[in-house]
Amino acid sequence: MTRILIGISSCLLGEPVRYDGGHKYHPYINETLARYFDFAPLCPETAIGLGVPRPTIQLTERDGALRAISSDSQDLTGALSHFADLQQPVHRLLCGYIIKSRSPSCGIANDGIYAARLMSNLPALPVVEESRLAEPVWREHFIKRVYIHQRWRDLHRNGLTLQGLRNFHQQHRLIVMSHDPARQRELALLVTQARTEDIEPAAAGYFLRLMEVLREPAQRRHHVGVLQYLQARLKNRLDADEKWELTEAIAAYQLGELPLIAPITLLKHHFRKTGDDEILDNWYLNPHPAELGLLNIL
């Protein structure tokens, strides 16, 4: 299996780069995700020349702007932002980024300076705070987007074509439907209107819009809509008992009594039996390695 490169705050790998000389070793990252991802570790604070240990940094609003001010009164805002800009060639090689929460440089919720510039420079890059990985919905959501990003890279590596772009959307349209059915139709229109002569800008615009749609986790009601769409596709191919079993599984998922993997497993079984290649080729049924068990907890 192709290993995927993602950026990460180096303290999460156990490197002693925190302001107090400590680290924030994260077991799930190091003991599970490390089997699938290669990490590009970085501590932006040590990268701009701060030592270990070092004065603490606080985010402070000054003249209507958020500034990173150290306890010895250094304004580090410009240095952190500039370093993020310098890192863009490296960032463009990544398929995702895991950053330390509540950090004045890396946090998202508290507008960490480095993280804010990173996301501004590369708005399509999946970025998550490590604290979110403890939440099943956000964990699955981040890893799903990382794999989508990797498949997008593969599309370009193999040579971007109009047909390749159309196939990419076709293989991901059910994932998009599980987030926002209306936006799926918008993206399908973008692909339909794309022309070979402007394939590069059309593809770039499509992918940016796609990742905007996928910015927030899918809602259960939209998953139910996709499951029912797939069920309808099988309506003339199942016997009465099979129809009842699938209907019950979808209803139980809708009520939160079964995880998403239950109806998806049934659907995969039926589509394999009926030989529907269009659905079997769709990444909704296999968004990430099954060994991660991410659909078992949704």
Residue 107 binned pLDDT confidence (cut-offs 50, 70, 90) = very high
| 256-285 per-position pLDDT tens digit | 999 999 999 999 999 999 988 899 999 999
Same domain, 149 and 265: yes
| 108-158 per-position pLDDT tens digit | 998 899 999 999 999 999 999 999 999 999 999 999 999 999 999 999 999
> For position 291, what pLDDT does the model report?
95
Same domain, 276 and 244: yes
> For position 296, what pLDDT does the model report?
95
The percent of residues in the chain predicted with pLDDT above 70, rounded, is 100
Same domain, 117 and 141: no
Q: Of 89, 115, 134, at which residue does a domain stop?
A: 134
For residue 72, what are the domain limits? 4-134
Residue 64 binned pLDDT confidence (cut-offs 50, 70, 90) = confident
> For position 85, what pLDDT does the model report?
98
Same domain, 36 and 61: yes
Same domain, 246 and 259: yes
Same domain, 13 and 122: yes
Q: pTM for this one?
A: 0.96
> For position 2, what pLDDT does the model report?
74
In the predicted model, is pLDDT for residue 1 greater than 70? Answer: no
Structure tokens at 247: 């209907």
Mean pLDDT of 227-255: 96
Q: Of 111, 134, 157, at which residue does a domain stop?
A: 134
Q: What is the 3-state secondary structure (H, E, C) of 110-129?
A: CCCHHHHHHHHHCCCCCEEE
149, 95 Cβ separation under 8 angstroms:
yes
> Distances from the Cα of 187 to the Cαs of 179, 182, 183, 194, in angstroms?
13, 9, 6, 11
In the predicted model, is pLDDT for residue 12 greater than 80? Answer: yes
Q: What does pLDDT average to over the chain?
A: 96
Same domain, 146 and 280: yes
| 249-263 per-position pLDDT tens digit | 999 999 999 999 999
| 33-50 per-position pLDDT tens digit | 999 999 999 999 999 999
Q: Of 134, 167, 201, at which residue does a domain stop?
A: 134
Same domain, 164 and 151: yes
Same domain, 142 and 278: yes
Same domain, 139 and 276: yes
Domain tally, the chain: 2
> For position 248, what pLDDT does the model report?
98
Mean pLDDT of 160-175: 97
Question: Which residue, among 185, 227, 174, has the nearest Cα to 209 in the 3D structure?
Answer: 185
In the predicted model, is pLDDT for residue 60 greater than 90? Answer: yes
Same domain, 211 and 113: no
Structure tokens at 9: 């705050």
> How far is Cα 83 from Cα 263, in angstroms, rounded to an integer?
47
Same domain, 109 and 188: no
